[in-house]
Structure 1
Amino acid sequence: MARTQKNKATEYHLGLLKGKLARLRAQLLEPGPGAGSGGGAGFDVSKSGDARIALVGFPSVGKSTFLSKITKTKSEVAAYSFTTLTAIPGVLEYGGAEIQILDLPGIIEGASEGKGRGRQVISAAKTSDLILMVLDATKRAEQRALLEAELEAVGIRLNRDPPNIYLKAKKAGGMKITFQSPPKNLDEKMVYNILRDYKMLNCEVLVRDENATVDDFIDVIMKDHRKYIRCLYVYNKIDSVSVDYLDELAREPHTVVMSCELDLGVQDVVERCWQELRLMRIYTKRQGVDPDFGEALIVRSNSSIEDVCDQIHRTLKETFKYALVWGASAKHIPQRTGLGHVVADEDVVQIVSAWKA
C-alpha cells in the first residue's frame, strides 16, 4: 500500500505533539526548583527496609485488607470509595528481609493531570522496586487499562526495558542520527524534528531497535522522568467469578489471583512478590566460626562482593583483602574472590581484611 504524503505529514505533526505533551506533563508533575509546594501537604514516606512495594488500585478493591493480612499494619477498611487518604507504610517480613509496602490512596482517574493527591501518589510509586496492581476480578478489563494508562502518562513503564536507543548530548557538531537497521516506525526527519523541538541541537543518536516508535524515542529524551518498574497484577475477589474465567486470568503473564475475604492465595501473592523483587539472602561468616543462618544480609540480584561489603559497613572496602565464598556462585568451595565477584542467593561469604593498626 503506497502511503500518501498527507499521512506522512500528519504523522510528523502527531510526533511533535506527543513530544510537547510529554514535556508539559513532566513540568506539571515535577515542578521545577523554586516552585511553590503546589497546595496541600505531601506525604513522603521515608524508604526503609530492603525493598519497597507500592500497592496501587482503584478504591475498595481490597488493598487495605490485603495489607493488614500480610503485615502488622491496620489500614482503615470500609466498603466505600476513598477510605485510605494517605500513604500507609506496612512492613512485610519474608525470608529474613523486611519489605516496605506502601498502600497508596486509590488513584483517581486524572491523577496524571495533577488532580486529587495524584502527584504525591505517583512520586511514591516511582521510588518503589515493584508495583502491585490490585484489581477487582469482576471488573478486570476496564480497571487494568485505566491504571496502566494513568501510570504510563506519568512516565512509569511497567514490565518493560528501556528502549534500545543511544542518545548523547554534545557541546557542538550538530545532529548525527544513525539507524542500525531501517526502522519501521521512525525516520530521520521525525527524529530531527523532535530533537529540535526539545532544543537538543547537538547530539548523537543511534537507534538499535527497528521496532522503535516515536513514544520510545521521547522516552529516551525524557529519561530522567521515566521509571521502568516491574509490576505484578493481583486479581482480588476471585470468589465472585467463574472457574473457567479464573483459570484464564491466572495464566496471564505477571498475574496472581487471590481472595482476601476467603483468605485464598494471599501467601502465593507474597511468594510471587519475593520472586519478582529478585532479592538474595547472603549469610556472613567469621573466621573459624560457623555461619549464622539466623541473620541474612539482603542484597539485590546481580550484586557483587562490593555490594555485600557496603551492606555490612561503608568503610569495609578500604581494608578489603579478599573474600571467601561458599555456595552456588563459587566454582570450588570455598572460592577466593575479589570485589567484583557476583554472588548468588544463600551464599555464605567471609570477608578477609588487612587490618591497618
Structure 2
Amino acid sequence: MVNISDKIKEIQDEMSRTQKNKATEYHLGLLKGKLAKYRRMLLEPEPGSSQGSKGQGFEVSKSGDARVCLIGYPSVGKSSFLSKVTKTQSAAAAYEFTTLTSVPGVLHYEGAEIQIVDLPGIIKGASEGKGRGRQVVATAKTADLILMILDATKPSDQRENLEKELEAIGIRLNKGKPGIAIKQKQSGGIKMISLTTPTNLDEKLVNSILKDYKLHNAEVTVKDKDATVDDLIDVLNEKHVVYIPCLYVYNKIDAVSLEEVDRIAREPNTTVMSCEMELSIDDVIEEIWYRLDLSRLYTKRKTDRPDFSEPLVVRSQSTVEDVCNSIHKDLKESFKYALVWGSSSKFGMAPQKCGLGHRVHDQDVVSIVTK
C-alpha cells in the first residue's frame, strides 16, 4: 500500500527541484493538482475509515450566532484570550502544548452569542496530519472567522508559516472564491471560455489538469483574467476548500517597543493586544464584531412596541425569508407580508411593506404578519 505522506514528500521534492518558467508551468500545474488530492486524502479520510475519528475532545457542536476559531502556535496566548473574553477557563501556562483538545467558550457582545473555540497549538506539518492536525483542520473549517494569535516577540515568519499550513489544508484566508466555473458535459471534450485572455491559464494547461481529475468533457468559464492554476485546482476541489476571513492578533505587545507595536498594528487585517497586561482586548472584541459582519434586528408584534432587549442576530445581507427561518422553521409557510422600519425601509422612519426577498439592515425593526 502506498504511503500518502511519502507521496506528498516526493511531489514536494520534485516541485522544489523544478525551475519555474513557461516550459515547466504545465508540469508544475499537474504536480499541484496531485498534491492537493493527496493532502485531502490524508486529512479527510473516507467515511468509515479507521483514520476518520475526530479524536476525543473535538466533538464541539457549533452554537450561537457565529463561530470564531483561535489558531496559533503553542503558548502564544490563545487560552489566556479565551479566559479573558468568556467565562471559560481554558488551561493557560507559560509552556507549550497546554491545550490538547478544543475548548469552547461564549462571548456575549452587542446582543449576540459568539462561540470562541480555542484549538490546540498548530505545529509544523499539521497540514500532513502531524500533531492533531487532522482534528484541528476539521474544526477550523467550520469557523466564520479565524483569529490567528501571534507572538509579537517572535520572528515575523510565524505568520507566513501558519498561512502556509492553513493554505495546504484548504483554508483560504481573506480571499474570495475564484472567478472560474466548471460545468460538466456528456460530450464535446474540454472547452475554455473567457471574456479576456487569461494571464496565467491557457486551454492546454486547463485540459491537462482536468484530465488528471478524470474530467474529459466540460465547459470551463474563466471570469478573472488573473486566475491561476491554484484557483483552478481550488474549484476542482471546491468541497474541500473554504474561504474564511482572518484577523491577525499580535499578543505580548508589552514586551516590545512602541515603534514595533506601531509597525505591526499597521499591517493589513491586524490588531494588537497584551493578555497579561489586559491591553487593547476590548479593541480586539470590537474588531471581531466588525469582521463577522452580523446584523441585529428587533422584532415587533402587531400591537406592541419593538422589543429592544434581545435582538435577533442574523448574517449581513439577510432577507426577510432568512429572518422567518431564524424565528421558526415553519413561519415562512404562513407568511403574508412584513413591515420593516429602519435604514432598509425606503420610507425612512415609516414602515415599508415587504415580501420575503427584502434585504434587512443592521438595527432594523421587523414585524412579520401571517395569514
Q: Report deviation, 1:70.
A: 0.3
Q: Report deviation, 1:186.
A: 1.6
Alignment of 1:259-274 (within 5 A): 259-274=274-289
Alignment of 1:151-162 (within 5 A): 151-162=166-177
Q: Report deviation, 1:140.
A: 4.8
Matched with 2:142 is: 127
Helix, strand or coil for the counterpart of 1:270? helix
Q: Report deviation, 1:347.
A: 0.5
Alignment equivalent of 2:28, drawn from 7, 11, 14: 14
Matched, 1:325 2:340: yes
Alignment equivalent of 1:337, drawn from 337, 346, 354: 354
Deviations 1:281-304 (A, max 9, x none): 110000111111001111000000
Q: Report deviation, 1:38.
A: 4.8
Q: Report deviation, 1:40.
A: 7.3
Q: Report deviation, 1:37.
A: 3.6
Matched, 1:182 2:197: yes
Counterpart-to-counterpart distance in 2, 1:159 and 1:206: 23
- Asked if the contact 2:55–2:135 (Cα under 8 Å) also holds between the matched residues in 1, the reply is no
Counterpart-to-counterpart distance in 1, 2:74 and 2:165: 15
Counterpart-to-counterpart distance in 2, 1:286 and 1:234: 42
Alignment of 1:86-165 (within 5 A): 86-165=101-180
Counterpart-to-counterpart distance in 2, 1:331 and 1:39: 52
Helix, strand or coil for the counterpart of 1:209? coil
Look up the equivalent residue of 2:367 and give its one-letter code. Q
Look up the equivalent residue of 1:283 and give its one-letter code. Y
Q: Report deviation, 1:258.
A: 0.5
Matched, 1:41 2:55: yes
Q: Report deviation, 1:8.
A: 3.3
Counterpart-to-counterpart distance in 2, 1:91 and 1:65: 14
Counterpart-to-counterpart distance in 1, 2:143 and 2:42: 21
Deviations 1:277-324 (A, max 9, x none): 011111000011111100111100000000100111111111100000
Deviation beyond 3 Å, 4+ runs, structure 1:
6-9, 37-40
Matched with 1:346 is: 363
- TM (normalized to structure 1)? 0.95
Helix, strand or coil for the counterpart of 1:89? strand
Matched with 1:3 is: none
Counterpart-to-counterpart distance in 1, 2:201 and 2:114: 42
- TM (normalized to structure 2)? 0.92
Helix, strand or coil for the counterpart of 1:9? coil
Helix, strand or coil for the counterpart of 1:321? strand
Matched with 2:244 is: 229
Counterpart-to-counterpart distance in 2, 1:8 and 1:334: 61
Alignment of 1:198-213 (within 5 A): 198-213=213-228
- Residues 1:24 and 1:351: Cα distance change in structure 2 (over 3 Å): same
